[in-house]
């Protein structure tokens, strides 16, 4: 499905673009490309007076706030370095942005994201971030379940693995909403001359 529209009440939601995550090699786009495209989108959303939400993941060093279920492959090991959960400087610092801290893959469970969006009348979320098959996909699924229109910006997200990224972009996201590129989203944000 191609990108058809942006609601007047669309919000940009950037997932896990923070110091400790953008340092991990990703595919098919480098973290620097994901950040640069998200910065362009954030600037355009701010200029259009639409909300920008910066989501970061932060866990206690002792792991006591991590998801409790047993897994065969733990998501993390060891203690992260100081500042690993700080939003990258290119995105951080705008006083109008909403910052949400999550403890899980998805940005809805255990956070005030839904409340923040509904207070502002948001009906659509436009997602970017790292990693496509984890934080972005989990957030897209929950947004769909919460009744939001979901748009995923496929060139402003990346994963550690090409196949996982491709699977989410080609098989999962079209079932949850619409997909598009940074340029397509920006074109829909620009005012139309009549």
Q: Which of 159, 161, 136, 140 is nearest to 149 (CA)?
A: 140
Question: Residue 82's pLDDT is what?
Answer: 81
Per-residue pLDDT of the chain (194 residues; tens, 9 = 90+): 479 999 999 999 999 999 999 999 999 999 999 999 999 999 999 999 999 999 999 976 666 566 666 666 666 556 777 888 999 999 999 999 999 999 989 999 999 999 999 999 999 999 999 999 999 999 999 999 999 999 999 999 999 999 999 999 999 999 999 999 999 999 999 865 44
Secondary structure class of 108 (helix, strand, coil)? coil
Q: Which of 172, 186, 188 is nearest to 140 (CA)?
A: 172
- Name all domains of the chain by residue range, CATH numbers in brackets: 10-58+83-189 (3.40.50.850)
- The CA distance from 174 to 40, in Å, is 24
Distance of CA 193 to the CA centre of its chain: 31
Q: Which of 46, 51, 6 is nearest to 151 (CA)?
A: 6
């Amino acid at each position: 499905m191609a990108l058809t529209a942006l609601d007047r009440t669309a919000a940009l939601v950037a997932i896990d673009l923070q110091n400790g995550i953008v340092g991990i090699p990703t595919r098919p786009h480098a973290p620097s490309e994901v950040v640069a495209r998200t910065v362009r989108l954030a600037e355009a959303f701010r200029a259009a007076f639409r909300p920008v939400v910066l989501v970061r993941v932060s866990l206690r060093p002792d792991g006591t706030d991590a998801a409790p279920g047993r897994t065969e492959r733990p998501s993390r090991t060891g203690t992260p370095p100081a500042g690993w959960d700080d939003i990258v400087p290119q995105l951080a610092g705008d006083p109008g942005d909403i910052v949400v801290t999550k403890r899980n893959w998805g940005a809805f469970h255990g956070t005030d994201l839904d409340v923040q969006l509904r207070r502002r009348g948001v009906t659509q979320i436009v997602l970017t971030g790292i990693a496509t098959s984890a934080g972005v996909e989990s957030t897209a699924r929950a947004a769909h379940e919460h009744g939001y229109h979901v748009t995923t910006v496929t060139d402003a997200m990346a994963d550690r693995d090409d196949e996982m990224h491709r699977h989410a972009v080609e098989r999962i996201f079209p079932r949850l909403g619409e997909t598009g590129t940074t340029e397509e989203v920006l074109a829909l944000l620009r005012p139309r001359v009549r």
